[in-house]
Structure 1
Amino acid sequence: MNNIYFNLNQLQKTIMYYALKYKKKYTDIKVIAISKKRSINEIIQAYSFGQRAFGENYVQEAIKKINNIQLKIEWHFVGKIQSNKVSIIAKNFAWCHSITSKKHAELLNKYRPEILPPLNVLIQININCEKNKNGIYLYKLMNLVNFIYQLKKIKLRGIMIFPNQQKDIQQKIILYKKMYIILMKLKNKYKYTDTLSLGTSYDIEEAIASGSNMLRIGQKIFNKKINNH
């Protein structure tokens, strides 16, 4: 059996299991297949098994794939934004998960072609205020939110968080739930803001328990067969 097919099926079962366990709606949870350093053939295989959304970290690697894969893929940019590559992101992706500044928001809005729908964007939050991690600190969030909401060609959809290194599941859930509460506050105030991009191959349970509705999964899709539940 194909590894990617097997892994996607196992992943689906895992998500269903945790959705049931934590009383979440399974159909509300979207999987982004993180395809950085994965071949075009692997992406096409995952697509053929039903995966439609793929996430890339590096613009130059991503653009080669986007230009060579003639499939209706929803491309997500999940890496650190570089100013000299903003126009490529604006013109080629459906989502950008990693906005951390007014400058990048403004440039994405500037370069987004009029003929395309607004670019869906997420603000990346650095929940532990770690100096070596990308993302804004919470106290800066609303200032950036209000700025983005005035722009016409990008659409604020929510927030993105990288996994916390803490090993204790319950402590992670407590921290992640704070992010969910922040999203709910934004959702009540801003139209279209409905997405919490939180959860990787290593913290699926904590993410679902906390209310994440977008998981960024790489290893559990593309590595050799991984048994979950």
Structure 2
Amino acid sequence: MTTSIASQLELLQQEIAKSREKHLNFKDNVRLVAVSKRQPIEKIEEAYLNGQRDFGENFVQEGVEKIHKLDKSDLQWHMLGAIQSRKCKDIAEHFDWVQSVDRVKVINKLNQARQGRSPLNVCIQVNLFGEEQKAGVDADTCFELAEQIENAENLTLRGIMALPPKQTEYNKQLSQFETIAELYRQLATRYPQVDTLSMGMSGDYEAAIAAGSNMIRIGTAIFGQRD
């Protein structure tokens, strides 16, 4: 198991480096978030021992249990899943990042629950292609939420997260990611601290990086199939 996760992480870093090198205008490092939902703590520990420091969870309770079990000060935990307002306190108290913010009520509750701690890093989840089954906001609402986060003293606006429609063709993937990247550039122009474009998963991260993504979220390609 050790070799498997170690080799998968190494392979991914090589592929990320190759994707970056293809695009000479790409200056950022690409941050790899290992999506650890429904993965046993032993596999997360293996990834940690092999240098992985960012982990993403979709379910609050599961994430909180893992954060307690793997009590390491150099880890960054990312909340990726849909947020119920009653879970905001747990998120604010345990996670370092929230990537799935999509409404004002959640912003207010996270801000309130984060008092007395370092600011919580926040990405707005966007849904620019009108997929009704997915969370996320349109471009106009994104700017409205950005202003709310900017005015929340315990939150830091870092950027946007997107999960566009699944495409298998590279050019279609790239086209979607470029649409999202354009919104990100507009947001970064308005808010200088914005530095994170979180998009790209196992099947499409190469196109995401080509469009400018500097944070990708990878699960089974690191850990294997979920339990």
CA displacement 1:97-127 (0-9 Å, x = unmatched): 000001101110000031x210000000112
1:16-35 map, 5 Å: 16-23=17-24, 25=26, 28-35=29-36
Instruction: For 2:106 and 2:145, locate their aligned partners in 1 and report how far apart those are by CA, in whole Å.
Output: 11
Cross-structure match for 1:42 = 43
What stretches of structure 1 of length at least 5 have no aligned partner?
225-229
Q: 2:110 aligns with which of 108, 111, 116?
A: 108
CA displacement 1:175-207 (0-9 Å, x = unmatched): 211211211111121131111000111111111
Contact 1:24–1:208 (Cα < 8 Å) also in 2: no
Q: Which amino acid aligns with 1:147?
A: Q
Instruction: For 2:25 and 2:169, locate their aligned partners in 1 and report how far apart those are by CA, in whole Å.
Output: 21
Instruction: For 1:27 and 1:157, locate their aligned partners in 2 and report how far apart those are by CA, in whole Å.
Output: 14
CA displacement 1:77-104 (0-9 Å, x = unmatched): 0000011111000110110000000110
Contact 2:28–2:214 (Cα < 8 Å) also in 1: no
- Percent of pairs with identical residues: 37
Count of aligned positions: 223
Instruction: For 1:213 and 1:194, locate their aligned partners in 2 and report how far apart those are by CA, in whole Å.
Output: 8
In the TM superposition, what is the alpha-carbon distance from 1:27 to its structure 2 partner? 5.8
1:172-187 map, 5 Å: 172-187=173-188
3-state DSSP of counterpart to 1:90: helix
| TM-score normalized by the length of structure 2 | 0.94
1:1-229 map, 5 Å: 2-23=3-24, 25=26, 28-72=29-73, 73-114=75-116, 116-223=117-224
Cα RMSD (Å): 1.4
Q: List 4+ stretches of structure 1 deviating above 4 A.
A: 24-27
In the TM superposition, what is the alpha-carbon distance from 1:143 to its structure 2 partner? 1.3
What stretches of structure 2 of length at least 5 have no aligned partner?
none
Instruction: For 1:118 and 1:111, locate their aligned partners in 2 and report how far apart those are by CA, in whole Å.
Output: 11
Contact 1:157–1:194 (Cα < 8 Å) also in 2: yes
Q: Structure 1 stretch 139-148 or stretch 205-214: which is displaced more? A: 139-148
Q: Which amino acid aligns with 2:133?
A: N
| TM-score normalized by the length of structure 1 | 0.93
Instruction: For 2:28 and 2:184, locate their aligned partners in 1 and report how far apart those are by CA, in whole Å.
Output: 19
Q: Structure 1 stretch 104-113 or stretch 132-141: which is displaced more? A: 132-141
Q: Which amino acid aligns with 2:190?
A: K
Instruction: For 2:171 and 2:89, locate their aligned partners in 1 and report how far apart those are by CA, in whole Å.
Output: 41
CA displacement 1:14-33 (0-9 Å, x = unmatched): 10111111225476110000
Q: Which amino acid aligns with 1:79?
A: G
Cross-structure match for 1:227 = none
Instruction: For 2:216 and 2:123, locate their aligned partners in 1 and report how far apart those are by CA, in whole Å.
Output: 13
CA displacement 1:201-224 (0-9 Å, x = unmatched): 111111110000000010111117
Contact 1:20–1:26 (Cα < 8 Å) also in 2: no
